[in-house]
Chain A
């Protein structure tokens, strides 16, 4: 099958990767770049486990995105969320609130929640529900996931206020 080279920036690292026209981003991330954190789910956009973030921070289903269309673009995967210093506030909240169980859908949920908070820092209940509607998790039943997302919103808001030098009592 014909291979085309594309340039893809993943978590800040630039890669020159050969792809076939039918390769999706999840295939390229996992099979060509060895980034196994993005899980492969239904491969038809119905389960949400393969969610990543595009340049505009929005959530993208990597199983529905053709890699060749991402030539020259950048994206963030679950491997780019935590830093050597520790977990991202969203990950930390998931840990504390018990919002991770089997873990197979967890990377997708983290990317979905992070995308929500970066595109809408103070989402209401409806916005949280809408964002999470594309992810299915039989283990947690979404309950602790929502608690964790609300906690992450509070914590990220507090961090922003600290950074502004105007923490509120």
Chain B
């Protein structure tokens, strides 16, 4: 591994996650484990039809059922909106299979289920539309009056003189790709507990990537002030980008609670989980690239068409975020992007793991690989010739203060034996390269992108670190404890992380756009420097030196270079607190990117995948994946490896297996038995290469590893399969059926 700065003590040393023992012993509390006195169970009544007029809703039989404490419909929440043209409950037209029509709360789950069944809704079926192609036809059903031609939203942007640069290119290639509707398959199902029994305070427990955005969305929808909503994040069973916006159940549970005057829990069933998740919808991509005769990419154009489903909740961000990533890998002279969101009568979609970017990388990686081959270049040489470097400012104005892209490509292809293998493997064996970049935080949701932190130092030398950053499994809390420990010369185990209670913990936009390590890490560092300064005043007095000369390390404080004159950290804290002034040690800090919009740093990566295709079954076996990632600095190396592993799993899963199959808007495979994910025996051998480029703006040089790796996995495996078959691949997932069709087209396959 790279430069290890000698002055770092705990940063860069693998630390088991601090919440591990609790999770391993079954003592960690998730939302479904929350039981409050008098708590009721809620159930949502959903449309069974993709598009229909509601003729009548009869709740009388449900209300008569013993144990039912509240029934709500549109009449109870006429002004509550959860998206554009999306009232919380439908009054007249339902627009997808799963659309919310009513909800009940009862003494127990069985009664709630029975009550939901007793709510009688009469519908008049209406024509519906399920594919983007059909939705864009001139005579198509108009799903929303304001979305003409079913175009929910469109955006386009040029950088540079696009047409002239294409015209001047020596070679231009155009390709089309598609990625399917998908689902995140969280281990923890969507759930919420809401207590609005007190009219002036609503408490909500739910898994989330951002307590702040949920708090604001719930407050706005229900007509409350932000401070009247207390959002509590317990352990969150996976995020994968999908838990960064509130969903209808987050508003329904509070309304049921208000009506019943008791807390209400709603937890999704297996089928519902696939509807509520709002993972990725189908996307169609068209890429056009112009290169010079030397193989330098000059102009790039991307046209992206997203199925956004029945409503627009916050899907504009899907398009904006994805589009930003056409600028991150190559030095370009001109770019054009056009994008649109299309309404269909499918589920309202949002994000799958990789946030649109990984899915785009599937096609982008195949396109660039095909382009390189077309002009007779090895893809590795092609990427190396065009890769961005440190000090580059891209066309959107992002400065790359650190960049290990070329180093990642070089190291990973060397370890894979690329030169030895590429173009020389036996039939049906393939090797592929995938490269990627990922932002560490992105300003744009608000004017700020702030994370704040407090640290309270106790008189025994232990500390409580207060942050608003959720931990969905990425071990962000342990990373924050490591950063705090480094600044204060303590051990991570000296620190208790208190997070995810908006009444207690400080402002934090949340754990998405890979902002946790970078933004909250910088905030924690600032808070701990503040606390250190307070303690240093006391220590300096005892040691007779200036505070600025003091070093904090290994539980001791000493003048720089003179560890023999040390004072225990604990004593300095004790003396500060127990002085005549009684100075309480509490550090506070925050970080907000100084930029107007966008990110301060990108991480980079490259992966090589090797695959074998079985010509009889059409199955693809991924034999090996080697992953090199420039994470800036690995705060906790073993956890960094774990992040890479999980993303290789998820990337492989998406490119080879995952597809939500819909028929007339109905999910046909809403279970883990029918929605394929890799099983243990299908996972390849994975090798990690951690590249440390020490970012100038990140905490101790760290960037991100939350989604950078998955962006590389999809193109690496897709290119390896294309390499094994010797034919283009344009659609994922690359299922056995897909492979057999390709092989069939080529005639009998070789052995």
Q: B672 touching A39 by the CB < 8 A rule? A: no
CB distance from B492 to the nearest CB of A (A): 14
Q: Please judge, given known A-B contacts A1-B110, A46-B671, A102-B472, whether A141 and B235 are in contact too, CB under 8 Å.
A: no
CB distance from B150 to the nearest CB of A (A): 32
B683 within 8 A of A: yes
Interface membership of A146, Cβ < 8 A:
yes
Q: How far is the CA of A27 from the CA of B351 in the complex (A)?
A: 32
Contact B677 A104 (CB under 8 A): no
Closest to A90 in B: B24
Complex contact A106–B24 (CB within 8 A)? yes
For B681, list chain A residues within 8 Å (CB).
126, 129-130, 133
Q: Are B686 and A87 in contact (CB under 8 A)?
A: no
**Contact present for A98 and B641 (CB under 8 Å):** yes
Query: For the complex, is B645 an interface residue (Cβ under 8 Å from A)?
Result: yes
Q: Nearest A residue to B270 by beta-carbon distance?
A: A42
Q: B645 contacts which of A22, A95, A102, A144 (Cβ < 8 Å)?
A: A144
CB 8 Å contact bits of A113-141 with B (1 = contact, 0 = none): 00000000000001011101101111111
**Given contacts A87-B24, A104-B238, are A142 and B680 in contact (CB under 8 A)?**
yes
Annotate A17-42 by CB proximity to B: 1 below 8 A, 0 otherwise.
Answer: 00010100000001000011111111
Contact call B650/A101, Cβ cutoff below 8 A: no
Selected interface stretch from A66-74, A77-85, A161-169: A77-85
Residues on B with beta carbons closer than 8 Å to the beta carbon of A106: 23-24
Most buried by A among B238, B267, B648: B238
B 678-704 binary contact with A (CB < 8 Å = 1; else 0): 111101001000000000000000000
For B638, give its contact among A38, A79, A98, A135 (CB under 8 Å).
Answer: A98
Interface size classification for chain B: 35 or more
The answer to whether B662 has its CB under 8 Å from any CB of chain A is no
For A146, give the chain B residue with the smallest CB separation. Answer: B680
Q: Contact between A104 and B235 (Cβ–Cβ < 8 Å)?
A: yes
**A138 contacts B650, C-beta separation under 8 Å:** yes
Structural contact, A102 and B236, CB atoms closer than 8 A: yes
State the Cβ distance, B28 to closest chain A Cβ, in Å: 5
A143 B649 Cβ-Cβ under 8 A:
yes
- Asked if A46 and B673 make an inter-chain contact with CB atoms under 8 angstroms apart, the answer reads yes
Interface residues of B in 488-533 (CB under 8 A from A): none
Report the minimal beta-carbon distance from B321 to chain A, rounded to whole angstroms: 20
Q: With the chains together, A102 CA to B648 CA distance in Å?
A: 17
Cα distance, A136 to B183, chains bound together (Å): 14
What is the chain B residue whose CB lies nearest that of A142? B680
Contacts of B235 in A (CB 8 A): 102-104
B24 near A91: Cβ-Cβ < 8 Å: yes
Q: Are A37 and B26 in contact (CB under 8 A)?
A: yes
Contact A47 B17 (CB under 8 A): no
Segment 223-276 of B: residues with Cβ below 8 Å from A: 235-238, 240, 267, 269-270, 273
A8 interfacial by beta-carbon distance below 8 Å = no
Cross-chain contact B680 with A98 (CB below 8 angstroms): no
Write out the residue numbers on chain B whose beta carbons fall within 8 Å of the beta carbon of A42: 189, 270, 273, 671-672
Question: Residues of A contacting B678 with CB < 8 Å?
Answer: 141-142
Report A-chain residues with C-beta under 8 Å of the C-beta of B110: 1, 20, 22
Closest to B189 in A: A41
State whether the Cβ of A10 lies closer than 8 Å to any Cβ in chain B.
no
Chain B positions within 8 Å of A126 at CB level: 681
What are the interface flags for B349-371 relative to A under an 8 Å C-beta threshold, 1 for contact and 0 otherwise? 00001000000000000000000
List the A side residues contacting B14 at CB < 8 Å. 98
A144 to B686, CA, bound (A): 10
**Per-position 1/0 for B122-163, Cβ under 8 A of A:** 000000000000000000000000000000000000000000
CB within 8 Å of A: which B178-199 residues: 184-189
CB within 8 Å for A77 and B475 given contacts A95-B21, A129-B679: no
The stretch of B29-37, B427-435, B558-566 that contacts the partner chain: B29-37
A contact residues around B20 at 8 Å (CB): 94-95, 100
B185 touches A136 (CB 8 A): yes
Minimum distance in angstroms from B701 CB to a CB of chain A:
22
* Shortest distance between the CB of A62 and any CB in chain B (Å): 13
A101 touches B26 (CB 8 A): no
> In the complex, what's the smallest C-beta–C-beta distance from B415 to chain A, in angstroms?
17
Query: In the complex, which of the residues B237, B475, B653 contacts A104, with contact meaning CB atoms closer than 8 Å?
Result: B237
CA distance A74 to B381 in the complex (A): 63
Residues of A within 8 A of B267 (CB): 40
A79 to chain B, nearest CB (A): 5
B391 proximal to A (CB < 8 A) = no
A135 cross-chain contacts in B, Cβ below 8 A: 680
CA distance A18 to B353 in the complex (A): 43
- For residue A37, which residues in chain B have a CB less than 8 angstroms away from its CB? 25-27
Q: Is A110 an interface residue (CB 8 A)?
A: yes
Q: Is B538 an interface residue (CB 8 A)?
A: no
Q: Which residues of A contact B25 (CB under 8 A)?
A: 37, 78-79, 81-82, 87, 91
Contact B473 A102 (CB under 8 A): yes
Q: Is A60 located at the chain interface by the 8 A CB criterion?
A: no
CA distance A55 to B649 in the complex (A): 34
Q: How many whole Å from B348's CB to the nearest CB in chain A?
A: 22
Q: Is the CB of B680 within 8 A of A145?
A: yes
Give bound CA distance, A43 to B20, whole Å. Answer: 25
CB pair B672 A47 closer than 8 Å: yes
Q: How far is the CB of B263 from chain A (nearest CB, A)?
A: 16
Q: Which of A20, A132, A139, A144 contacts B187 (CB 8 A)?
A: A139
Tell me if B78 is interfacial: C-beta within 8 Å of chain A.
no
Query: How far does the Cβ of B276 sit from chain A's closest Cβ, in whole Å?
Result: 14
Return chain B residues, CB-CB under 8 Å to A146.
680, 683
B475 neighbours in A (Cβ, 8 Å): 101
Contacts known (A98-B17, A104-B238, A146-B680); A141 close to B24, Cβ less than 8 A: no
Closest chain B residue to A97, Cβ basis: B638
Chain B residues with CB below 8 A from A61, complex form: none
Known contacts A46-B672, A98-B641, A140-B646, A87 near B21 by CB under 8 Å: yes
CA distance A144 to B18 in the complex (A): 17
CB distance from B643 to the nearest CB of A (A): 8
Distance in angstroms from B187 CB to nearest chain A CB is 4
Question: B24 to chain A: which residues have CB within 8 Å?
Answer: 82, 87, 91, 94-95, 100, 106-107, 110
Expressed in whole angstroms, the Cα–Cα distance for A107 and B188 within the complex equals 12
**Chain A CB within 8 A of B474 CB:** yes
A75 interface hit (Cβ, 8 Å): no
Q: Which of B618-665 contact A (CB under 8 A)?
A: 638-639, 641-642, 645-650, 653
Distance from A92 Cβ to chain B, minimum over Cβ atoms (Å): 8
Q: Which of A104, A128, A140, A146 has the most CB of B within 10 A?
A: A104
Q: Would you call B19 an interface residue if the criterion is a C-beta within 8 Å of the partner chain's C-beta atoms?
A: yes
> In residues 28-58 of chain B, which contact A (Cβ within 8 Å)?
28-30, 32-33
Roughly how many angstroms separate A66 CA and B227 CA in the complex, as a whole number?
A: 45
Q: Are B473 and A98 in contact (CB under 8 A)?
A: no
Cross-chain contact A36 with B29 (CB below 8 angstroms): yes
Partner of A36, one of B26, B472, B672: B26
A105 CB-CB contact with B under 8 Å: yes
Query: Are B642 and A78 in contact (CB-based, < 8 A)?
Result: no
- With contacts A38-B26, A133-B679 taken as known, whether A139 is within 8 angstroms of B646 at the C-beta atoms is yes
Which residue of chain A is the closest to B34 with respect to CB atoms? Answer: A36
Q: How far is the CA of A100 from the CA of B653 in the complex (A)?
A: 20
Other-chain residue from A30, A46, A101, A129 in contact with B646 (beta carbon distance below 8 A): A101
- Cβ-closest 7 pairs across A and B: A37-B26, A141-B649, A102-B473, A104-B237, A78-B26, A103-B23, A101-B473
13 A-B pairs, CB-CB below 8 angstroms?
A39-B187, A46-B673, A77-B26, A98-B641, A100-B24, A101-B646, A102-B188, A133-B680, A133-B681, A136-B679, A140-B646, A142-B678, A146-B680
Q: 9 additional contacts, CB 8 Å, given A78-B26, A138-B184?
A: A42-B270, A98-B16, A103-B30, A104-B238, A139-B642, A141-B650, A142-B678, A143-B683, A144-B641
